[in-house]
Structure 1
Amino acid sequence: MTEELRERMNRFVEFINTADEQIGDEIISPSATFHVPFLPEPVQGPSGYLQIIGIMRQAFPDVQWSLEETVIEGNTVAARFTLRGTHQGEFLGIAATGKAIQAQAMNIYRFVDGQISEEHGLPDLFGLMMQIQPADR
C-alpha cells in the first residue's frame, strides 16, 4: 500500500502542476474536503482543488510544486512540498512585485480507495508573504 500511495501522490503533483481536470477526477474523490488557511471555508472535490490552484496561478502564473518527502502510515500521507514561482498578480492583498518565491508546505492527506478524501494544507504563508513584501516596507 505504501508504494501505491507514493504513486498516487506523484500523480497528484502532476495534477497540481498541470491543472488537468482528468487527472483531478482520477486522484480526488468527488466528496473530498480541502482545508487551506487562505480560504474561509473548506472546498470540495476536484473542482474545489482547481479553485485553490486558480488562486495560486492568478498570483504566481508559473508556480510549480515539487514533492520533497512523504511519510506514509496506513491511508494517511504527510507530504512536504516546495513551491516555486514568480509573483505576477495580487496575492492576499499584495500587488504583484515580480519577485521570485520559494516556499515550503506541509500537508496531510487521507486516502480512501486510492483517491484523496481529505487534505489539511499548511503552506508557509508567513515565509511566502515575507518574500513578496514590496521593497518600500
Structure 2
Amino acid sequence: MRRLFEGAWTDGELDVVDAVVADTFVFTRGGEVQTGGAELYKDLVRTTREMFPDMEFRVDDVVVGEDGDAVTVRWTMTGTHEGEYNGVEPTGQTIEMDGLELNTFEDGRLVETCTYPHWVGFLEDVGVFPLTDSRNR
C-alpha cells in the first residue's frame, strides 16, 4: 500500500501499479463499484492527478489483518485544486482531505479497494460548503 501511495499517487509513477494491482481489481467509492483491473487503478491516479497536480498522500495509519490479506489505511491528501472535481470547478485552493480505505489482497496483489474520502472537508476547503472545520483538528 505504501508503494502505491508514495509511487503512484504522490509521484505519478504508474509502473508501480503494474507491480502491485491485480488485473481483477475492483474499486468502490460512494456505493459506486467499478471494475477494470490495473488499468482502472491507473485511470484513477491520472484523473485525480489532473485535478490536483501537486497532490501528496500521507499514510497516517495502517492496520493489517491476521492473514495479511486485509489492509486498512487512513490517509491524508493535500494538493491544489486545479481541475474540475465531482462537479466543483477549479478554485486554486490548497485542500486537505482525509480518508479511510479497506483493501483486499490475494497472492500479494491488490484485488479490491473500498475508499471513504472525507468529502465535507474538501468542500469546506474550496468554499463550496462553508462550515466550521468538520475535521476537528
TM-score range, shorter chain: 0.7 to 0.9
Count of residue pairs the alignment pairs up: 127
- Write the distance in 2 (CA, Å) between the matches of 1:96 and 1:27: 32
| Unaligned residue ranges in structure 1 (runs of 5+) | 1-8
Match of 1:83 among 64, 69, 77: 77
Q: 1:12 to 1:65 in 2, by over 3 A?
A: same
Please list, as runs of the form range in 1=range in 2, the aligned pairs for 1:11-90 lying within 5 A after superposition. Answer: 11-13=3-5, 14-37=7-30, 40-73=32-65, 74=67, 75-90=69-84
Q: Which runs of 4+ in 1 moved over 4 A?
A: none
1:47-94 deviations in Å (ceiling 9; x for gaps): 101221222122211111111101111210110001000011111121
Q: 1:29 to 1:98 in 2, by over 3 A?
A: same
Q: 1:129 to 1:114 in 2, by over 3 A?
A: same
| Unaligned residue ranges in structure 2 (runs of 5+) | 131-137
Q: 1:109 to 1:40 in 2, by over 3 A?
A: closer
Identical positions, percent: 23
Q: 1:15 to 1:135 in 2, by over 3 A?
A: closer
Q: Normalising by structure 2, report the TM-score.
A: 0.83
Match of 2:91 among 93, 97, 104: 97
**RMSD over equivalenced CA pairs, Å:** 2.0
> 1:40 Cα deviation (Å)?
4.4
- Write the distance in 1 (CA, Å) between the matches of 2:129 and 2:111: 41
Q: Secondary structure in 2 aligned to 1:30?
A: strand
